[in-house]
């Protein structure tokens, strides 16, 4: 039995661990475009200003691949999947056969056509290598513009700001972080960050990159010009589906998978940021490109590849983010999809504290915590386990969440016997 | 979805008096001196909390610590592998933790805590089932046997 895995991040690592729980003799071959052992991709923005020591970026210890008998092929890209012959072709011309194939190739930054986009000092932030290029340049520049105020854009802006370079974020929407915060929550962050010297321009976008040779500034749609000698493009990430599509696998935005993480070919699995899978909050398939789901899906894929039936029960967005010391955790919907939802919230602007919950027929389907985030996972659990909240729910806004305020049946289920998760 | 056999800590709501001795015993057990006075008066920073006594609106209460899930959401969520499983026990490598609080976002039981470390930074903290003891300190200290350590 030969398992081939394309990609080498969270989903791949968990799949390897799971396969080896059941099969200690099968061959595992892992291909990665990148030249590194599995590392913590979310930490590449910390790397910009040495926010964490480099050793903490390692996702597993160096002995991981040997211990799990993995044939690791680094800095090699898989360029083709031949499903009839059950083999893959790599960028070095190598051909590798597979019995089970797992796609965990993640996403790639979306780069829009830009007037002046061929100037030097324009970067994306998706890999450790891209962060290395940015870090190298940070020493020589004075001002940076980050196009896109999403999660990657804001974390990159934080990293550049912390490295001592004046940073401007330009976001098309009227708020930053629109996928993980509502406008009130985002406003707290905007105020907080601007008070600390970060510039944030909302409801505007880049029209043209200025400068000859190197970037010297950007002109915005509003006509405003911002001087800069570095431009980071962080407007979005798209699932890396090209070879899956060419191989004729069913794709939409991502590669479509069932609850076993199988694609339209039962011997080909997909997990992580590349996969489009069931989201239990919106009740349809979505690409939820978050680390915890990549780990979980990798594990489910690995189990099924190794021969043990396991199902993915569905995911939903959940994020934990801090910017210059202000923290937020959010999960599920951040705004009610329509007026059949109930919304409760409480804000303390001066303390940068905010809570908001979205409920439908007594079930929580979204929550935001800013500032005080203790035990926020209890709410994540309520969404995941679809727990009905009865009676007064005002405790959600005031105290630290507690299980004792929840239905006793749920509590007994979780506290009086061993739990799966 | 099978769960492996091992001893875990289970609270008994009807016996808990809310005395919080379980919290004190936990701090002492995880202190450098393992002495109650030194742990509370001399050690700085004092070991952080790893468990809680939850109190309801009507005097109801129970002591709660990590469930040591078979397939823990906190371990899935941890972005750099600082949280890991060691023979069924979920542990945190504090030296590796980057305090991103993905684990706090993920744990459905609220059993992961922030802890201030000696370097002035933060790391996750949680129940480790007292590796140096046969019976976890919280269970042993409980005067009304409102915590039990057993296989279920």
Q: Do B105 and A329 touch (CB under 8 A)?
A: yes
Residue A17 is predicted with a pLDDT of 98
DSSP-derived letter for residue A1 is -
Q: Give the nearest chain A residue to B82 (CA atoms).
A: A59
Alpha carbon of B33: minimum distance to chain A alpha carbons (Å): 28
Residue B144: which of B69, B48, B53 has the closest Cα?
A: B53
Q: Is the dihedral of CA B30, B31, B32, B33 positive or negative?
A: negative
Q: Please give the distance of CA A106 from its chain centroid, rounded to a whole number.
A: 9
Q: Do B102 and A320 touch (CB under 8 A)?
A: yes
pLDDT level of residue A232 (50, 70, 90 thresholds): very high
Q: What is the dihedral of CA A162, A163, A167, A173, to 10 degrees?
A: -60
Residue B57 is predicted with a pLDDT of 86
pLDDT in tens, B60-107: 999 999 999 999 999 999 999 999 999 999 999 999 999 999 999 999
Q: How many CB pairs under 8 A join A and B?
A: 146
Residue A179 exposure: Cα atoms within 13 Å on the Cβ side = 21
Residue A94: which of A76, A75, A69, A70 has the closest Cα?
A: A76
Give the mutation candidate from A375, A395, A406, A412 for the B interface (greatest B CB count, under 10 A): A375
- What whole-number distance in Å separates Cα of residue A196 and Cα of residue A144? 16
Residue A310: which of A256, A383, A261, A381 has the closest Cα?
A: A261
Q: Give the nearest chain B residue to A13 (CA atoms).
A: B81
Residue B20 is predicted with a pLDDT of 97
Contact B42, B33 (CB under 8 A): yes
**Chain B: residues touching A (Cβ < 8 Å):** 1, 3, 6, 8, 10-11, 54-57, 60-62, 64, 67, 69-77, 79-82, 96, 98, 100-110, 112, 114, 152
Q: Is the pLDDT at A107 greater than 80, yes or no?
A: yes
Distances (CA, A) of B75 to A378, A380, B115: 16, 15, 18
Contact A6, A103 (CB under 8 A): yes
Percentage of the residues of chain B whose pLDDT score is greater than 70: 99
pLDDT in tens, B48-68: 999 999 999 889 999 999 999
Q: Do A43 and B98 touch (CB under 8 A)?
A: yes
Residue A161 is predicted with a pLDDT of 98
Alpha carbon of B4: minimum distance to chain A alpha carbons (Å): 8
- Among the partner-chain residues B73, B101, B152, the one whose CB lies closest to the CB of A292 is B73
Residue B1 is predicted with a pLDDT of 65
pLDDT level of residue A317 (50, 70, 90 thresholds): very high
Return the residue matching tokens 């089970």.
Answer: A100
Largest pairwise CA distance in chain B: 46
Distances (CA, A) of A96 to A2, A22, A38: 9, 23, 21
Residue B29 is predicted with a pLDDT of 98
Alpha carbon of B18: minimum distance to chain A alpha carbons (Å): 13
Residue A25 is predicted with a pLDDT of 97
Give the mutation candidate from B80, B115, B120, B126 for the A interface (greatest A CB count, under 10 A): B80
Cβ within 8 Å of residue B63, ≥6 positions away: B11, B16, B22, B23, B51, B52, B53, B54, B138, B142, B146, B147
Q: Do B1 and A420 touch (CB under 8 A)?
A: yes
Centre a 10 Å sphere on the Cβ of residue B30 and count the other Cβ atoms it contains: 21
Q: Is the pLDDT at A166 greater than 70, yes or no?
A: yes
Burial string for A63-84 (b: 16+ CB within 10 Å, else e) reads: ebbeebebebbeebebeebebe
Residue A358: which of A392, A327, A393, A323 has the closest Cα?
A: A393
**Secondary-structure breakdown of chain A: helix, strand, coil percentages, each rounded to the nearest 5:** 25, 30, 45
Residue range B126-147: mean pLDDT, rounded: 98
Q: Are strands A100-103 and A268-270 parallel, antiparallel or unpaired?
A: parallel
pLDDT level of residue A378 (50, 70, 90 thresholds): very high
Burial of B19 (0-12, 13-18, 19+ CB in 10 A): middle
Alpha carbon of A340: minimum distance to chain B alpha carbons (Å): 26
Distances (CA, A) of A55 to A17, A39, B101, B102, B117: 22, 10, 19, 19, 18
Q: Are strands A217-220 and A206-210 parallel, antiparallel or unpaired?
A: antiparallel
Return the SS3 of B11.
strand
Q: What is the dihedral of CA A363, A383, B109, A353, to 10 degrees?
A: -80
Q: Give the nearest chain A residue to B109 (CA atoms).
A: A378
- What whole-number distance in Å separates Cα of residue B81 and Cα of residue B77? 9
- Provide DSSP, B87-145: TTEEEE-TTT-----HHHHH-TT---EEEE-TTS-EEEE-----TT-SS-HHHHH-TT-
Residue A188 is predicted with a pLDDT of 98
Q: Give the nearest chain B residue to A400 (CA atoms).
A: B110
Q: Is the dihedral of CA B123, B129, B131, B136 positive or negative?
A: positive
Q: Find the helix packing angle between A291-306 and A10-22, rounded to 10°.
A: 30
Q: Do A414 and B109 touch (CB under 8 A)?
A: yes
Contact B104, B140 (CB under 8 A): no
As a whole number, the mean pLDDT across chain A is 97
Q: Is the peptide bond before B45 cis (omega within 30 degrees of 0)?
A: yes
Return the SS3 of A315.
strand
Contact B109, B64 (CB under 8 A): yes
Percentage of the residues of chain A whose pLDDT score is greater than 70: 100
Question: A248-254 contacts: CB < 8 A, separation 24 or more?
Answer: A248/A83, A249/A81, A249/A83, A251/A276, A252/A276, A252/A285, A253/A287, A254/A287
Residue B3 is predicted with a pLDDT of 80
Contacts of B110 in chain A (CB under 8 A): 374-375, 377-378, 400-403
Residue A391 is predicted with a pLDDT of 83
Q: Do A43 and B79 touch (CB under 8 A)?
A: yes
For residue A14, which phi and psi values (nearest 5 degrees)?
-70, -35
Q: Do B100 and A42 touch (CB under 8 A)?
A: yes
Return the SS3 of A366.
strand
Q: What is the pTM of this model?
A: 0.97
Tokens of B58: 């009507």
Alpha carbon of B27: minimum distance to chain A alpha carbons (Å): 19
Q: Do B110 and A401 touch (CB under 8 A)?
A: yes
């Amino acid at each position: 039995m030969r398992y081939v895995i394309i990609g080498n991040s969270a989903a791949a690592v968990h799949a390897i661990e799971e396969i080896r729980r059941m099969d200690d003799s099968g061959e595992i071959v892992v291909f990665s475009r990148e030249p590194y052992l599995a590392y913590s991709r979310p930490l590449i923005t910390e790397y910009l200003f040495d926010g964490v020591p480099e050793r903490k970026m390692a996702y597993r210890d160096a002995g991981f691949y040997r211990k799990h008998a993995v044939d690791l092929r680094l800095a090699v890209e898989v360029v083709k999947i031949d499903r009839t012959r059950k083999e893959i072709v790599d960028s070095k011309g190598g051909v590798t056969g597979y019995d089970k194939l797992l796609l965990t190739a993640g996403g790639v930054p979306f780069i829009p056509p830009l007037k002046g986009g061929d100037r030097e000092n324009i970067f994306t932030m998706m890999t450790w290598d891209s962060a290395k290029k940015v870090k190298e340049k940070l020493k020589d520049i004075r001002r940076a513009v980050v196009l896109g105020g999403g999660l990657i854009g804001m974390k990159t802006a934080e990293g550049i700001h912390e490295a001592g370079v004046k940073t401007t974020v330009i976001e098309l929407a009227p708020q930053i972080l629109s996928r993980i915060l509502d406008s009130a929550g985002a406003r707290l962050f905007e105020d907080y960050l601007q008070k600390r010297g970060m510039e944030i321009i909302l409801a505007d976008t880049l029209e043209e990159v200025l400068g000859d040779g190197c970037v010297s500034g950007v002109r915005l749609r509003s006509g405003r010009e911002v001087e800069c000698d570095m431009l980071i493009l962080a407007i979005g990430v798209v699932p890396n589906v090209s070879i899956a599509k060419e191989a004729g696998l069913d794709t939409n935005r991502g590669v479509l998978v069932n609850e076993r993480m199988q694609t339209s070919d039962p011997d080909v699995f997909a997990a992580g940021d590349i996969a489009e899978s069931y989201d239990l909050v919106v009740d349809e398939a979505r690409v939820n490109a978050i680390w915890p789901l990549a780990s979980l899906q990798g594990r489910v894929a690995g189990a099924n590849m190794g021969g043990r039936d396991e199902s993915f029960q569905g995911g939903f967005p959940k994020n934990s983010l801090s910017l210059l010391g202000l923290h937020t955790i959010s999960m599920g919907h951040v705004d009610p999809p329509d007026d059949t939802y109930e919304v409760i919230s409480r804000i303390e602007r001066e303390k940068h504290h905010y809570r908001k919950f979205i409920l439908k027929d007594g079930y929580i389907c979204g929550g935001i915590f800013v500032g005080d985030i203790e035990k926020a996972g209890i709410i994540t659990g309520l969404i995941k386990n679809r727990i009905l909240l009865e009676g007064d729910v005002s405790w959600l806004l005031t105290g630290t969440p507690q299980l004792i305020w929840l239905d006793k049946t749920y509590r007994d289920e979780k506290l009086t016997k061993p739990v799966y998760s | 979805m099978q769960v492996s056999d091992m001893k875990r800590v289970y609270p008994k709501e009807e016996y808990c008096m809310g005395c919080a001795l379980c919290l004190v015993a936990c701090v002492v057990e995880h202190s450098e001196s393992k002495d109650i006075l030194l742990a509370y008066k001399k050690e700085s920073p004092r070991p952080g909390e790893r468990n809680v006594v939850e109190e309801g609106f009507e005097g109801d209460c129970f002591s709660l610590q990590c469930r040591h899930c078979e397939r823990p959401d906190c371990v899935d969520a941890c972005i750099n592998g600082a949280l890991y499983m060691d023979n069924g026990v979920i542990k945190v490598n504090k030296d590796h933790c980057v305090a991103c609080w993905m684990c706090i976002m993920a744990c459905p039981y609220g059993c992961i805590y922030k802890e201030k470390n000696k370097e002035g930074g933060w790391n996750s903290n949680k129940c480790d089932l007292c590796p140096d003891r046969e019976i976890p300190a919280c269970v042993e200290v409980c005067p009304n046997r409102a915590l039990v350590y057993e296989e279920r």
